[in-house]
Chain A
């Protein structure tokens, strides 16, 4: 976030205070019944865009306020549901998060009659207890100024090639995705990845282990490592690089070998305002808002009519653009849902050695 927008944001808050106070004094009736829903997401600069495009108009239309929290955390969801003290009315979830949460019964069913009465959403975007909000990709990002022009890494084989592409690297501290990247680097075809050959993947990861100086845990962290020059390349979530490029930073991504994933919204079991949360969920079906959102953050959902509205140069950068889809692989959350726990254990042991 630039300092100007942050300042404007803060000034906005300061200005909104008295106005809201005045409004609530004037309309004491409706204000008393006002509901605030808590929506948990991944935070960061993204949260500001969501506030502007989705939350504020929603509050204006319905009178329901939206409080955004972060970060996405399955353990927190577990803790909330099991203790019955559910703070979130809705939360963002990754693909395998949804499967795990479903398995344990931490989510309540989505009433599609409320969210999508006209049946506009394609089936791929709907699960009984979650809706796809966006698609994103974990891709390879690099510093353009550390390599000759046009000679940056193109895929995971290049990431592993420390001779041709020297410099410290970063990867996520999780087996999820990294095992796939290792297999791709080792020459496995993208459509033949699953079920993963775990032994082969770890063997390949052994080669790069000591060149990876940081194992990142959050989305903002990997971006910072790249900007600070702590690493020359890293795996990133594609949308985090867009604002940096707009600021003119020497960073770029390649969709080669990217992991195409879906992100969901689910309503925790025991949430205090499920009805209101579903009303808010509905705002994601608006193609006009979707267009504005995607123009700023390249995380498109399956909004009917969205792609048609986009400018070609915006569409070109999206993970679901046909050219980009052809270079990526489809991440398989089903496979990971059953393997995550034992593989995380093995991953941690491997990392320590």
Chain B
């Protein structure tokens, strides 16, 4: 590489390296350091990670919740993506925009709408009582149900989209060919379409899982005492108990889980999808 070229490269990359180095990599390194030094080297925070009942429960619940939400999103989202992929092009564009619409609105506001709807004197309860389905208000706000419902609503578009992306690339001729060769519609779907679309679904599931792991706003606003996630616990340790070392150790657990899942993503998803 010529000197001139490396100078150009430095000019182009310098700002990005400075920004991301100073405000992303270096701070992450700071978290690592914070978890290990207090002020001398100690493994206290990581010992606490293992010993503290709170950390154990929260980590387990976070993973279980993320897994449940992901499973729900996949089961609900796959048929939706299938329907979308097999409808006429004009309707498809319309519905694609409609499904993407909430995706562009902040999670804070999408969570807020559920606060409004699910309260004891909220819309859903009033409707239930008005229709005579229940006698009194049902407790929905501040429960795990509300957290699940809102998280599925927030993450579903992502799963639909990734599934859809892999489905539209499947040549419909292939399914038709299977039918002509005597396969039942179900068999044609199960043997031809499904195996070809499962990659996209898996990629969507992993993204959905990673995003669920980091949820903060939704459980904080809609959940009850049991629905504390890792992000909320980190916030609590920073702002309430002042134990920044422990908060850092928790953040590293979350980071490690994310990186492992990203590795998994690279395995299932074709290269080009990462690059958009």
Within 8 A of A (CB), among B111-161: 119-121, 139, 141-142
Count residues of A near B (Cβ-Cβ below 8 Å): 21
Within 8 A of B (CB), among A146-191: 168, 173
A60 to B119, CA, bound (A): 46
Could you say which of B189-197, B211-219, B235-243 contacts chain A?
A: B235-243
A-B contact pairs, 25 of them (CB 8 A): A78-B242, A168-B120, A168-B139, A173-B225, A212-B225, A213-B139, A213-B142, A213-B224, A214-B142, A228-B121, A229-B119, A229-B120, A229-B121, A230-B119, A230-B121, A230-B142, A345-B52, A348-B236, A349-B57, A352-B54, A352-B58, A352-B61, A352-B226, A352-B228, A353-B57
Residues of B within 8 A of A75 (CB): 238-240, 242
Q: Decide yes or no whether A74 CB sits under 8 A from chain B.
A: yes
Q: Decide yes or no whether B53 CB sits under 8 A from chain A.
A: yes
Name B residues whose Cβ lies closer than 8 Å to a Cβ of A: 52-54, 57-58, 61, 119-121, 139, 141-142, 224-226, 228, 236, 238-242
Residues of A within 8 A of B58 (CB): 352
Within 8 A of B (CB), among A268-313: none
Residues of A within 8 A of B224 (CB): 213-214
Residues of A within 8 A of B61 (CB): 352
Which 4 A-B pairs give the minimum distances between C-beta atoms?
A: A349-B53, A351-B225, A352-B57, A229-B121
* Nearest chain A CB to B4 CB, angstrom units: 44
Residues of A within 8 A of B239 (CB): 73, 75
B54 interface neighbour in A168, A230, A345, Cβ under 8 Å: A345
A341 interface neighbour in B52, B53, B238, B241, Cβ under 8 Å: B241
* Nearest chain B CB to A69 CB, angstrom units: 16
A348 interface neighbour in B54, B120, B139, B141, Cβ under 8 Å: B54
Within 8 A of B (CB), among A298-346: 341, 344-345
* Nearest chain B CB to A141 CB, angstrom units: 17
A348 to B240, CA, bound (A): 12
* Nearest chain A CB to B226 CB, angstrom units: 6
A337 to B113, CA, bound (A): 40
* Nearest chain B CB to A76 CB, angstrom units: 8
